Each structure stands twice: as C-alpha cells, then as structure tokens.
Structure 1
Amino acid sequence: MTQNLIHAVIHKLEKESSGPSRIVEAAACLDVSEEPLQALVNQVHDVYSGRESKSYGKFDPNLTPVSAEPHLRGLRDNEAANFLEISKQLMLVLKDKSDGENFSTGGHVLIAESTSSSVRWVVVVILNNKAGTTINERLQVVRAPHLDVDGIRFAGRVNMTSWREGNTERYISFLKGKKNDVSQYFQRFLGCSTVQKDLDDTRNLVKAVKTFASAKNLNETERENLLKEVYRFADERATAKEPLSLAELANRVWSAEPEALKDAFAMADPPISDGFMPKKRGLDGLTRFSAKAAKWKLEFERDAVQDHTIYFDPDNQTITIRNLPAEVVENFRAEFSAHAQEDDSAD
C-alpha cells in the first residue's frame, strides 16, 4: 500500500540480549518529502501486510497505563500534537518492556504516521542491519550493510481511523513471532490484547481459500482437492482443540508453492488472525454448498458435484439433480400430483 507520510522518526534502542537497554534519541523528525524515507516506509508496510503471522486486537485497559496507548491517544486526538515528543515517550515504554525481557534485542526503531486510502496508520517497527556487498566506483566488491526490512520480527500497526470511530475491536495488529519467541514484549509495549473471534476467523479462512482457488484458475478437481485438504487440516486442529498455524497449513496443503497461499492469507479481507482455534461449524463451506432465494433453499455436499449427482449448467442457469432416492421421488409425486389434481378440479 502506498503511504502518504505525515510524520516519521528513527530512534535507536541499544541492547545486548542479557543487559539493560539504552536509548539514542533522534534530534528531530525526518523530512517526509525525502524519497528514500518514503520508499522505506512503503516497503515496511508492504512487508508487514504480506506477513501471515499476525494477531489482531485492541488496547487492553489493564495494560494501557504503562504502554503505548496513552501516547498514541494523544496523537490521535490532537492534530497539533508534538510527534517527536510522543515518539520519545514511546521509546521510554519500549525500553521498559525490553529491559524486562532478557533475550530481547535492540535496533533502529522507526515510528511513522501516514495515511492510505483515507485510513490513518501508525506503525512501530524495529529494524536491524543485514550484511551485504556492493561494487564501488573502482569496480571492487566491498561490504555494504543495509536495513533488513524483509526480516523484521518486531512490529505493530494501529489503525487510528478505526480506533477513533470505534467500528471494530480489531484495530491493532502485531507480528506474532515463532514459538518461544520473545516478541510478546512488543505486544506488552503496545498494550494490546488479542480479540478472539474463532468462528469469524474460521469463516474468513474458508473465504480466503476459495478466493485463492479462483485466483489460481484451478480446475474443478484441483479446487475440490484443495478444499478437502484444508478441511482435513482444520478439522484435525478443531478436534484436538489446537490453534491453527496459517504457515503450517500452507505448507501442508499447497506444498508446491506455499508462499503463494501464505500471501493470500496475509492479504485476506476480512483478515485472519494467525493461531485461531478453528470451529467445525465454520468449516462447512469447505465440504458443503448452500444457497437460497425467495422461494427455495438448496444445500448439498460438494462431493455431489464431483460425482455428477448434481450438475450445474452455467450457460442455461440450471441445476440438475440425478439419481434421486426412491422415497424422494415418491414424496414429490404425492405432493405435487395432489397439487395438480387440485388445480384441475378448480378449472
């Protein structure tokens, strides 16, 4: 997403894995008209949006007094707020949470406020350098470290517009990290608690998988096989009452190109919270089809299309049901023959 920068600043958090941290403050905010800065912020948002391992939530009243929330609230509610001073207060909170986590590490902390498609965002991300090389003017290969944006581990983003309007409980997102990761301290820095909507996430997963199948132009067999595999994986997690990892699901059901499915999960609309507990009743769309109109309702197992018991003709906009059970045929005969006789008598 292309961002229109409002404010941006980069501070530094210096910390060894087992010691206290130290803040190196920026003297001023950055010039938001500079193209390299704009490119960096756009890249951060793009990389962040492309991560499937995100959780969604809201500010937690039990955490907010000692978190980023009161400072971001000041930014939200006051157009004349001093962004630099607010960013310094955010750094103090981040230092406090980092000091409480033995294995957390520091880095350059980018804090940026921007708008995109009428939505106001604030993103906080810790960036580290990555070793690299380049060729200098004398055509020699030399070391050239650069910011490792693709490898960000600690990041959070607040939808300031949704927060202000109060139209959702999921206006904060943050990177979850891997198992036994120390990224929970970043969640505590935000003052965010996750909002569990397991049934919604289950249904959003089903929608995302179907959208992915359509985007890939899968044939009927490929599409149904994909839906079955997703159902099998999610149903296993639901039965075991275990959280569902979107990355693990993608690796299992789309092993030839898992990154493509991970991207689809990351960009899903509505979003899917990684690690949700799937609900069996939300998985029906993977195995069953249902539709209704003013005068009828239709529901059947998707296998009925696969074995041609049910045939859909899109050109003629018709559905044909073959091999009706004898009792169904008799019920129809009894019901509608009676109606026909009543109509004839009326004439």
Structure 2
Amino acid sequence: MSVDVQQLAINYLELDEQALSKAHYRPALVTPTAAVAHLVEQLHLAYNGKPAKGYAAFSADKDPQVASVLGDWQKQNSDFMVLANTATAALEQQLQAHQLPESGYLLICHYRYLASDYLLFCLLGSKDHFSLTEELELATSRHLDIARMQLAARIDLTEYQSSPEQGKYISFIRGRAGRKVADFFLDFLGCEEGTDAKANSKVVLASVEEYFAAADFDSTEKNDARKQVYSYCEERAKAGQDVVLTELSAVIDEQEQQGFLRYCQEQQLQVAEQFPVEVKELKKLIKFSGQGAGLSLSFEQKLLGDRVQYDPHSDTLLIKGTPPNLRDQLQRFIQGYSAFDRAEPGAE
C-alpha cells in the first residue's frame, strides 16, 4: 500500500563562510504529483529500514517552538508553511548551537500510511549524476541522497493524539557513532528520549528464552519459534509499527497462543503490551556473531551443540565442516603460496 501525501515543504540549509548552517526558504509548498508521492514513499521505506532508532516525547523542559507550532497547526490556527518554516529555523539554531556543520535539503512532510498520520523531518544531502545526450554532450543533474538518510525524525500524529502518555510518538535515527545526532535532534524537536527499543529487544530475548525453558520446548521447536519471532518482529519494524504482545505470544507458541502472554503476567516480566524493537538486537535470536582482534565469526544458532561446539572454560570454538569457499582458501594456503598462482581451467 502506498503512502497518501498530504503536504510537503522543502527548505535548504547551506554552510556560510564560518561553516554555520544558513536556511533558505522555499516560498510555497510542493505541489502533490505522482513523482512527489513516489519520493515520499521512498523516504518512508528508507526511514523504516533504519535499524537503530530512538523514541521520545515532547518535554516541558525543552524549547517548545516545534511543539507549539505543531499544536497551532493541528488546531488549524496556522498553516503548514508556518509549521515547516518554524521547524527549519529551530533546526538552524540547534545546528549552530551544537556547532555541527550540516547542509542539505530539509524535507518536512505530512503523510498517511495505513491508519496513521505522520510528520517526517529529514535533512538529505545530494549527489551529482552525469549522463550523455544523444549528441554525446555531458549533462549533470542533482539527486537527493535518500540512501544515506541519517538526520531524520518522525512524529506519529495519530499516537500523539490518542496515547501521548506512552512517550514514544516521536522516533529519530540515532545516526553514526561519535556524533551528537541524537542530542541536537532531541533539542530541535524539544523532546526527551523515553522508550528504548534496544532495551525492549533485550527483554524480549530473555523472556522468550525463559518461556522456552518453562514450556519444555525441544531444540527443533525452539529453533522454529525463534525464526517465527524474528520474522514477525522484523516485519513490524520495517512497517514502522510496534510489536504487539498478544500477537507475539501467538507467534511464539502456535499450540498455546496465549501461553507466553500468561507467562509474562505470572512472572511479572517487564514486557509492555505494545512496544518498538530494534531488529539488529533481535538478530541474536537466530544467529551468533562477533568480531575483534582480527577475527570475525557468525553462525546460525541452531548449529550450536551440533556442528559448532563451545567450551566456556577454555573459551574455544570447535567447528565441524567449514564453508566450501573458506575451506578452499585454507587448503590453498596450507599447500603453499604457489597454489594461488596455478591458473584455474579457463582462467586467463
């Protein structure tokens, strides 16, 4: 199902001679067209696909600019241009305050997807693309770099109106390590971080494994259930939706669909009725992986105790049966470097 674009504003932030962000405002909203709808759909999918997000809510202790103008717009006391331009000015101020030399196109979009209304803020860079005309003349065009979306936040307007007390109607991309992306986006929106998707995911991991042990699942049942849980959570995350505890319970145990739900209630486990998750963290349900000191390893969890044996006392892994391409490299290396020089049949 495609997104339903309501309104889109685009402003531009450039760096001045002092490397400070300076806003330039588009005089009117972007006219909705099929191309605009396709653009917003790509933004929606790109945003949902980002694995590491934070969740927040407006705070009385932060700058109320965005929250105030958002309230006026929702009450129809001001138009979308006022909301977009006020937000752009607030972002410009925070970029300068945090001394972050960011430039790009700020897109502020109100759209609907399924039963929810969203307000998306994203600062996108651009790339120059080259092409040739029929006369072999070089031509250039500038494209929005959606694939590298890093500076973005989204307000779930439907949840903001229906259940603001849950404190997770604002989500934002955490961004690259070592940058104050989360800090200045929280300040820009005037909010404080609340629900922790990564922490939620760890609770789910621990609770599911506890339930497997209590319900006496055998190894095959556990592996099948883990795959189902991961697939369900991944699907919800990609759609930008929360995991629902009752649905998760049915996925975990098809024979006793409310078994996990009752177990959480009886054991007083801290699992909310509805919550966001971080897919990267839940990957541990089906795969072990890690790297460091020149070594990188990953294998499916079902292999542990079978093809892969781990001795915790000596911190040793024993792997029976290596992947063919790895085995070929190892055998060639053991035979001597000359093995690398022998041409394969048909090779030049």
Q: TM-score range by the shorter chain?
A: 0.5 to 0.7
> How much identity, in percent, do the aligned residues show?
20
Q: 1:118 aligns with which of 115, 118, 134?
A: 115
Measured against aligned partners, the alpha-carbon deviations of 1:1-25 in whole angstroms (never above 9, x if no partner) come to 6221111110111125963222111
Which residue of structure 2 lines up, in the alignment, with residue 2 of structure 1? 2
1:143/1:71 CA distance change after superposition, 3 Å: same
Kept in 1, the 8 Å contact 2:21–2:101? The answer is no
3-state DSSP of counterpart to 1:31: coil
Which of 64, 71, 74 aligns to 1:73? It is 71
| Counterpart selection for 2:242 from 270, 293, 311 | 270
Equivalent AA in structure 1 for residue 192 of structure 2? S
User: Residues 236-264 of structure 1: CA distance to partner in whole angstroms, max 9, x if unpaired?
Assistant: xxxxxxxxxxxxxx9xxxxxxxxxx9787
Give the match for residue 22 of structure 1: 22
CA 1:139–1:86 in structure 2 vs 1: closer, same or farther (change >3 Å)? same
Contact 1:204–1:271, Cα closer than 8 Å, also in 2: no
Q: Deviations over 1:172-222 (max 9, x none)?
A: 00000122113121221011211145764434567999xxxxxxxxxx669
1: CA distance, partners of 2:200 / 2:99: 36
The verdict on how the C-alpha distance between 1:158 and 1:221 changes in structure 2, with shifts beyond 3 A counting, is same
CA RMSD after TM alignment = 4.2
Q: CA deviation at 1:96?
A: 0.6
Matched length: 243
**Conserved? CA contact 2:48–2:240, under 8 Å:** no
- Gaps of at least 5 residues in structure 2 are 210-218, 245-251, 268-300, 306-348
Conserved in 2, the CA contact under 8 Å of 1:18 and 1:103? Answer: no
Give the TM-score normalised by the residue count of structure 2: 0.59
Aligned counterpart, 1:48: 47
Is the CA contact (8 Å cut-off) linking 2:66 and 2:83 kept in structure 1?
no
Are the aligned partners of 2:53 and 2:172 in contact in 1 as well (CA < 8 Å)? yes
CA gap 1:196/1:35 in 2 versus in 1, 3 angstroms: closer
The answer to whether structure 1 residue 179 and structure 2 residue 177 are counterparts is yes
User: How far, CA to CA, are the matches of 1:225 and 1:196 in structure 2?
Assistant: 29
Quick check: 105-114 or 128-137, which moved more?
128-137
Give the direction of change, closer, same or farther, for the CA distance of 1:25–1:199 in structure 2 (3 Å limit): closer
SS in 2 for 1:68: helix
Contact 1:157–1:173 (CA under 8 A) maintained in structure 2: yes
Give, in whole Å, the separation in 2 of the partners of 1:63 and 1:131. 38
2:35 is the counterpart of 1:36? yes
Aligned pair partner of 1:161 in 158, 163, 169: 158
Secondary structure in structure 2 of the residue aligned to 1:145: strand
C-alpha contact 2:28 2:81 (8 A) present in aligned 1: yes
Partner amino acid, structure 1, of 2:180: V
Counterpart code for 2:127: K
From the superposition, tell whether residues 10 and 206 of structure 1 become closer, same or farther in structure 2 (CA, over 3 Å).
farther
1:267-346 to 2 correspondences below 5 Å: 267=239, 269-270=241-242, 291=259
